[in-house]
Amino acid sequence: LGGIDGIVSSAGIDCLKPFAQMRYEDWHNTLEVNLSGPFNLCLAALPFMQREPQGTIVHIASGAALRPLAGRTAYCASKAGLVMFAKTLAVDLAPYSIRVNAICPGIIDTPLFRQSFEGAEDPEAALEQVLDRYLIRRIGQPEDIANAA
């Protein structure tokens, strides 16, 4: 087997609660998966990646890193942190010829996206409300992100 010359961090969880209803555990769990997970992945892979002539790290962040969303304080904060982590890691790892990028997609048809409609009184109306925020009124597919990476 060869070394590691590329990794993708794409795991994520959401906490769909208004801030006033959040508990510390909600905050901690979201940041643990969405921010500490990518940190630990990079930390574990780095010694192997440094042995290669070049490498690539891609973090799947979210459009929520760039704009606030009601009821998603922990998620937005964790994804914004992931974007800055990618930027600073890119600077730190440039001497090793390791590129680091973050992709910030909008809505993507994933279990996490579908979960956000579970408690809605009218899931179809809730979906329409989300689609109204996007000019192309289309839910992205996981393949769209894979092709961007």
Please tell me the total count of domains within the chain: 2
pLDDT in tens, the chain (149 residues): 678 999 999 989 999 899 999 999 999 999 999 999 999 999 999 999 999 999 999 999 999 999 998 999 999 999 999 999 999 999 999 999 999 999 999 888 888 787 777 778 888 888 888 888 888 888 889 899 888 87
Q: Are residues 112 and 66 part of one domain?
A: no
Active site residues: 75
Please give the full DSSP string across 42-76, using - where no structure is assigned. Answer: HHHHHHHHTTSS-EEEEEE--GGGTS--TTBHHHH
Backbone dihedral region for residue 110 (phi beyond 0: left; psi -120 to 50: alpha; all else: beta): beta
pLDDT confidence of residue 149: 76
Q: Are residues 47 and 120 part of one domain?
A: no
Q: Are residues 111 and 45 part of one domain?
A: no
- Strand, coil or helix: what is 100? strand
Q: Are residues 96 and 52 part of one domain?
A: yes
Q: Are residues 99 and 78 part of one domain?
A: yes
pTM: 0.86
pLDDT confidence of residue 61: 96
